[in-house]
């Protein structure tokens, strides 16, 4: 069964495809970036995923990235707003899933070595 998000019951894959299409044009992209940061591994410190907030709204989404280098993970980060998930030069996106951590649904970003 496809993974559902809280946003209009879209699957995570549908959202990722839509966001990838929105960001195909690189010119003028800085106008849509409200915030950006990397999820870093809490074990080895490697940058795992690039998070780009494109619209500021009150909704917060907890995200966490799994490290393909040491097997550890990033800390859970609350992302406020609509955002894109990207990889780094050393990682590539493998899968998305959800996991309950401390009674909260957390979006898990699974990565592979690039």
| Closest to 54 measured CA to CA, from 19, 96, 92 | 19
Q: Report the pLDDT value the prediction gives residue 3, as an integer from 0 to 100.
A: 46
Give how many domains the chain has, as a whole number.
Answer: 1
- The sign of the torsion formed by the CA atoms of 93, 95, 99, 104 equals positive
Distance of alpha carbon 83 from alpha carbon 92, whole angstroms: 17
Instruction: State if pTM tops 0.85.
Output: no
Q: pLDDT band at residue 68, thresholds of 50, 70 and 90?
A: very high
Domain-embedded: residue 82: yes
Domain-embedded: residue 23: yes
Mean pLDDT score of the chain? 83
Domain-embedded: residue 76: yes
Question: What residue numbers bound the domain in which 39 lies?
Answer: 12-113
Angle ∠(76,52,95) on CA atoms, nearest 5: 60
Q: pLDDT band at residue 14, thresholds of 50, 70 and 90?
A: low
Average pLDDT over residues 7-22: 60
Domain-embedded: residue 7: no
Average pLDDT over residues 77-84: 93
Domain-embedded: residue 37: yes
Domain-embedded: residue 78: yes
List Cβ neighbours of 90 (8 Å cut-off, separation of 6 or more).
Answer: 46, 47, 69, 113, 114
Domain-embedded: residue 5: no
pLDDT at 25 over 50: no
């Amino acid at each position: 069964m496809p993974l559902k998000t809280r946003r209009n019951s879209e699957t995570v894959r549908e959202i990722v495809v839509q966001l990838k299409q929105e960001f195909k044009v690189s010119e003028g992209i800085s106008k849509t970036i409200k915030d950006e940061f990397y999820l870093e591994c809490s074990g080895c410190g490697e940058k795992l995923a690039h998070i780009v907030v494109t619209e500021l709204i009150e909704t917060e989404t907890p995200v966490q990235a799994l490290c393909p280098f040491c097997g550890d993970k990033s800390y859970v980060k609350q992302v406020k707003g609509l955002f894109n998930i990207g990889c780094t030069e050393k990682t590539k996106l493998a899968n998305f899933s959800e996991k309950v951590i401390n009674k909260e649904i957390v979006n898990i970003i699974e990565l592979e070595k690039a």
